[in-house]
Structure 1
Amino acid sequence: MLINQYIDHTLLKPTATINDIKKHCQEAIKYHFYAVCVNECYVTLARNYLGESPVKVVATVGFPLGAMAAETKVIQAKNCILRGASEIDMVVNLGYIKSGLLDAVEKEIASIKKAIGNHVLKVIIETSYLTDEEKRLVTNLAIKAGADYIKTSTGFGTVPVTLDDIVLLKEVTTNKIKIKASGGIRDALTAKQFIQAGVHRLGTSSSIAIVTQKQ
């Protein structure tokens, strides 16, 4: 099992500098990670710095709260693709989910997917803030809206992702949509457990520690 090819090497802290992003990209190339995950302002830098390497650029949209207007998220997503992102990780509107505005949530996801075309869309549902029933509801909405992945967390939530979360999502997705686990994944054992549970991608800022630990 080549864990490195499951990893979106993630640097989303608000204080990340240009030099931090360059170093992050160097690490991704060295350790053969699948992608780097960065905020919108650094998409062009990351794409240019990665050059001809196979490492992809994942950009965040509506990050980390998900509470901006759907139209704003669409503009963000288009901009990230134009700047060189291959994939978009968007945060759903959690307040809308809690308010029962499910049609609006589905429409938002669908509009972003339409805007980015064949590029990969991952929908961040922030599992630590949702009930199990809400996790099921929003996952089904993402499937109906044409998203490619459900992603568990921004990494800024209150509780790390759990195996129970992955089991629940796996039951709902029934292989109609892929799963990205993120939020508190810091060691090789945890990463391996998530992969064995059916996760297709891992989002983590502890990527190097994970791939250099004895397994």
Structure 2
Amino acid sequence: MTLAARIDHTLLRPDATEAQITQLCAEAAAHGFASVCVPPCYVALAAEKLAGTDVAVCTVIGFPLGYAASSVKFKEAEVALYDGATELDMVINISALKSGRTEVVQAEILDIADLCHVHQSQLKVIIETALLTEAEIELACQLCVAGEADFVKTSTGFASRGASVADVELMRRVLPETIRIKAAGGIRTREAALALVAAGADRIGSSNSLALITSTDEPTAA
């Protein structure tokens, strides 16, 4: 698999324009990126622009802080799937996790994972590793397994730091092979992306995707 095929081509800035989203979609189709990750208000536009391509449409839920009510997140997910998203990146309730309310975190993941799977879509759960201890990262991964998530994602890109090789290595040790890992946040060079793939990341989320690929993109490790 090429590195491009592992990348979620991302534009989540609050000032993103319709023209920029249209360009993002064109770039994703041209370079064979795995998906575009766009703000919820642009899901329908991205779905229209990418119709007939192999590029998935991804958006974010409960982003970037994660502490919206579960019912609100569920409604966000419903709307996104109706608009054409096939992948959802949902931020966990970090506050609930740190308060020991693990049943809240697990139930929320499971409810939205079930919704995604009914729609033949995938759920990536963002645990925001920058805000967690190693023990909390392990716990969050375990809750994602119990909640039947498809991916666990390191970061929103809006915290103090993004993905690290150490985060991904820890997550890969904890998670079963059936659950994939998305590394995101601060990935600006091809070398950084390849290091994360080598550590166990299956997807890379980046707003700097074009700098990560070469004109003849070589396959990465399986």
TM range (shorter): over 0.9
Offset from partner CA, 1:9-63 (integer Å, 9 cap, x none):
0000000011110011111111111100011110000000112111110111001
What is the TM-score of this pair, normalised by structure 1? 0.97
The residue aligned with 2:58 is 58
Q: Which deviates more, 204-213 or 83-92?
A: 204-213
The residue aligned with 1:101 is 101
Q: Which deviates more, 110-119 or 25-34?
A: 110-119
- Are residue 172 (structure 1) and residue 174 (structure 2) matched? yes
The residue aligned with 2:153 is 151
- Are residue 163 (structure 1) and residue 172 (structure 2) matched? no
- Are residue 197 (structure 1) and residue 203 (structure 2) matched? no
Matched-pair identity in %: 41
Amino acid at match of 1:67: Y
CA distance in 2, matches of 1:86, 1:193: 27
Cα deviation, residue 212, structure 1 = 3.0
Cα deviation, residue 174, structure 1 = 3.0
5 Å-filtered alignment, 1:132-143, equals 132-143=134-145
The question of whether the paired residues in 2 share the 8 Å contact of 1:188 and 1:211 is answered with: yes
Offset from partner CA, 1:72-119 (integer Å, 9 cap, x none):
111111111111111110000111111111010000101111222231
The question of whether the paired residues in 2 share the 8 Å contact of 1:143 and 1:176 is answered with: no
CA distance in 2, matches of 1:114, 1:161: 27
CA distance in 2, matches of 1:176, 1:30: 29
Aligned residues: 215
Q: Which runs of 4+ in 1 moved over 4 A?
A: none
Q: Which consecutive residues of structure 1, in runs of 5 or more, have no partner in the other structure?
A: none
Cα-Cα RMSD: 1.3
1:123 pairs with one of 118, 122, 125: 125
Q: Secondary structure at the match of 1:12?
A: coil
Q: Secondary structure at the match of 1:8?
A: strand
The residue aligned with 2:189 is 187
